[in-house]
Amino acid sequence: MSSRATRSLTALVLALTVVSSAPDASAGAWLPAPGNGYLKLWVKYLPGFWFTAGDGQRYDYGAYHELFVNAYFEVGLVDALALWVHAPMVQAFGLEDTRARAMRWHVTPGDPTVGLRLKVAQVGRASFALDASLRGPVAPSQEVQPVYSSMGPDFRQVGALRIGNGSTDAALTFSMGYAAERFYVSGSFGAMFRSNGYDPAGTMTVEGGGRIARGRVGLRSRVTAFLSLPVGTAPRHESPSGMGNGTRYWGFALEADVRVAARWDVGASFEGGIGPLLRQTGGPVINVFAATSF
């Protein structure tokens, strides 16, 4: 294969490499009016391939699947203040033991996040907000299964699957957005502080979209980053789930929805990678969802 073809194939593979963590479903810089709100339910599926360790080395390993059921809810409390909750209701992880050629499944509720969003300014069509949130460790945090290479005959261990983060995470995020009649753009940046000596992390999101076909179809695209800063005291975790300590990624999402009833939308999104990731699997993420406002 020529070097040009190799580079093209590498670029295509990177475009299909994704993070295993579900993106925040929050509404960025905008808040619902008091008593109004938003509800989103979605199913996420990830067929994983390759595991990228903390040293950047990429390993082939056994078959890996994630199937999650998630809910996001927000409601306006008073003027300029909203409450939101992200609840991973069921998370199922399937990992092949390459030595025994057997698949094992691990099922658990996920780690819920509760947050408050405060509108700090409104300038014409531009809005600015501040989010404070707390994520609690509900899912088991210990290693539940070794991850073995798919390369025989020794099938050496290259990591260990974790199905919970194992830390209490407090985050502060500043967001800004501009909404025109048919499109919007928004962005955010923030910091996450983690217990148990875990590395703190920086977060970033840039998003844009709009509605077409007389408002019946919504289109959105999003770039996200989660960048652990290697200053914590706890060991970093080598897990294909990306849960635990030390994960880093850059990713993108393309999303579309269709209005099927008054205030009800159904849709799907595809997530991929646009940059290096560490301590997690690659693989395309597909989400299907239903959402409503009230």
pLDDT recorded at residue 42: 98
State pTM to two decimals.
0.89
Residue segments in the chain with a per-residue pLDDT below the cut of 50:
1-26
pLDDT recorded at residue 4: 45
Average pLDDT, the chain: 91
Which H, E and C letters describe the chain, residue by residue? CCHHHHHHHHHHHHHHCCCCCCCCCCCCCCCCCECCEEEEEEEEEEEEEEEECCCCCEECECCEEEEEEEEEEEEEEECCEEEEEEEEEEEEEEEEECCCCEEEEEEECCCCEEEEEEEEEEECCEEEEEEEEEECCCCCCCEEEEEEECCCCCCCEEEEEECCCCCCEEEEEEEEEEECCCEEEEEEEEEEEECCCCCCEEEEEEEEEEEECCCCEEEEEEEEEEEECCCCCCCCCCCCCCCCCCCEEEEEEEEEEEEEECCEEEEEEEEEECCCCECEEECCEEEEEEEEEC
